[in-house]
Amino acid sequence: MIFLVRWLILTIAVWAATAIVHGLYCDHWQTLALASLVLGILNTFVKPILLFLSLPFIVVTFGLFLIFINAGLLALTAQIVPKFIVEGFWPAMGGGLVISIVSIVLGYSKANAKWDRS
């Protein structure tokens, strides 16, 4: 159940990024769902390795290097998923930023709802 909620949040975040950022395109909702699934898998398995390897850059830039990692994973998702298009570096950066913000906001509101029930 937790996996489905996280996938839904990521799907909404990717949809928001394609709606806001010029240069990110998705042709159909199935492509959007597949792209969010692939991005979630990359975030689960590849991102921790990248975080470990780039830890000095993350510390020196006070965490701003994380935006580059998110953009790279989004560009890699576009390479894996057909018809999910990222047209370059800046759209990947903007899309990674929008996805991060939307995921934090939706995840935060979900956490607050859980605490309010108790």
Is the pLDDT assigned to residue 81 strictly greater than 70? yes
Kindly state the average pLDDT of the residues 20-41.
95
Percent of the chain residues past pLDDT 70, beyond the cut: 91
pLDDT for 41: 94
Q: Where are the domains of the chain?
A: 36-112
Terminal Cα-to-Cα distance of the chain (whole angstroms): 19
User: 22 — phi, psi (to 5°)?
Assistant: -75, 125
Q: How far is CA 32 from CA 39, 99, 108, in A?
A: 10, 13, 23
Cα–chain center distance at 55: 19
Q: Residue holding tokens 């989004």?
A: 74
